[in-house]
Each structure stands twice: as structure tokens, then as C-alpha cells.
Structure 1
């Protein structure tokens, strides 16, 4: 589950916009016992795509398999960012740390939400 800030970042909107969308019934959330909003991948995927005014973007997915390779991850992010900038892309870098056999990764889930929500260039 994603926090308000994480969900807003994934959707490319502000936290205020996400709160407003919830009041307007455009997105649903679950509340923690402390009253904090949490959003599932499905909640984010079900956002009415016509309400999002952000331009589509290109995603760079960078992953390494262990924490020993964090420097490699930084280099990947830098290289992908430079490539996207040089080509004039509106982009977002999604990072992951962990085995390719583990599909329960935060970055991978974020990437899936972005794809399902139609926020990406095809």
C-alpha cells in the first residue's frame, strides 16, 4: 500500500489534488487506525484517466539485485537520466533493489500502476 505522498508522486499530482479527488469520489483510499490514507495499486489504477492533466512520460526502470550494488544503481539512474534528458523526454526514474525473482518490489508495482493508468508514452 502507498502513502498519500507516494500515491501522489506515482500519479504525478500534488497531495492536495489527491485529497480533492477522494472528496470528489474519483479515487478511494483505506484509512489506517491513525486515520492516514493508504492507496492500493488497484486504487491508483482506477483513477479516471481523463482527470489527470499531466503529459504522458517516459519511465526509466533501474534495478540491481543487492545492496552491495547501490553504487551501480546510482550509475544506472545517472545514465538513464542523461539519456532521457538528451532526447528531450519528460521522464521519471523508478528504482528497485532486489532479486529479479522477487516480484513484490515497490518500484515494479509503481511501474505497473503507471502502465495501467496510461501515463506512459507508447
Structure 2
């Protein structure tokens, strides 16, 4: 990523006017580099390092863990331990982002944070235990974004997730909840009756 820019781009990145940058230079607050033709050049990685996160040229490693519900806290802890142990063995400096929510929910706070950091160029590596931990459907789109942003994706287990059936059941329950609420209203007797029936079917299938 090229962070050496002209005065117009630097002013926009800092949220000030070109005149302000020239005034700061005259006051000795910052000193741009001059090209052979005399044009000013500014290094954004030094002016706003919190945005570019270019410490030593390295971007962060993020390990992402997710479970569908708070009832699966034990599995979330297992995921975190697996990710932490793997990243530590590689000698990587890393953060772990955890989410509770369906694999079909695109509005989870951890997932939004992860995508924002990928798009901002702050992440150099994404580590997950299974591909379905990211999203049930749509993971390929996230992987394509990672490729475009030169983010390495590490999937520790390529096989089927051990919680696949339980998670799918939770996803199906979420779909029925949304559509029944739209059809009958979230507080209607029909909605509650339908959800009770689905929950019993899910519980019996898992026995």
C-alpha cells in the first residue's frame, strides 16, 4: 500500500484544507518531503498511523470464533483455545474475535468489525477453525474480499464441523421465526404454536 501522497490527498485524509497543511509546514508542525521538482509529499503512515497500522509493515492476525447460541459457550471456549494455541505456535501476534449468532446472520458485531478491518487494510491474516464458523452461506464472498485485500485465510479443519447439525437446526429455527412473525405477527398465537412445534422437532432430532 503506497502511503506517500501529494498535498491534496494528504489534506483530504487529515480532514483539513491544503492551506492548513501549508500553514502547519510554515509553523514547523510537520515537514513534507520534496520531490526533485519541488512538489510536497506526505507519508500518511506517519501522519495517521492508527488508520494504517503499518508497524514494521506488518498487519494484524485475527482469529474468528462463532457459535449459534449462548448455550454453546463451551464450544466457543474450545474454538478459542484451538485458535490461540495454533496462532501462538506460529509465533503470530493475534487477536481473537468472538460472536454469538446464526451462521446466516450478517449483522453480528464481531463479523462487522472483522469485515471493516479487512476492508480498511488492517488485517493480514484470518484464522478460523471451520469455514462454517464464518458464515453458513456467503463465506465465499468474504474469502473473495480477503483475496482482493491480500489477506491470508487459514482454515484449521477442512472437514465438516462437529456442530453442523445443531447449527443448521438453529438456522432453520431462525428462518421460521422471521417468516412466521411476518405472516402472523411476533406475538400471535399461531407464531408461538408454530415455534413450539419446530423446537420440539429440533430437540427430538438431536436426541
Could you tell me the TM-score, scaled by structure 1's length? 0.57
| Map of 1:74 onto structure 2 | 77
| Map of 1:108 onto structure 2 | 111
Higher relative contact order, chain-length normalized (CA < 8 Å, sep 6+): 1
User: Of the two, which has the highest radius of gyration?
Assistant: 2
Q: Give structure 2 stretches of 5+ with no counterpart.
A: 1-13, 17-43, 125-150, 152-207
Equivalent in 83, 91, 95 of residue 94 of structure 2? 91
Task: Please list every run of at least 4 consecutive aligned residues from structure 1 whose deviation after the TM superposition is greater than 4 angstroms.
Answer: none
Aligned-partner SS, 1:92: strand
The total of aligned residue pairs comes to: 77
User: Aligned-pair distance for 1:25?
Assistant: 3.9
Answer yes or no: is the 8 Å Cα contact 1:56–1:90 preserved in 2: no
Question: For the residues of structure 1 that align with 2:107 and 2:123, how far apart are their CA atoms?
Answer: 22
Question: For the residues of structure 2 that align with 1:25 and 1:95, how far apart are their CA atoms?
Answer: 33
The structure that is helix-richer by fraction is 2
Question: For the residues of structure 2 that align with 1:56 and 1:92, how far apart are their CA atoms?
Answer: 12
Segment drifting more, 51-60 vs 67-76:
51-60
Q: Give structure 1 stretches of 5+ with no counterpart.
A: 1-23, 27-48
Aligned-partner SS, 2:62: strand
User: Aligned-pair distance for 1:97?
Assistant: 0.4
Question: For the residues of structure 2 that align with 1:109 and 1:103, how far apart are their CA atoms?
Answer: 8
Q: Deviations over 1:18-73 (max 9, x none)?
A: xxxxxx649xxxxxxxxxxxxxxxxxxxxxx7322444111111000011101110
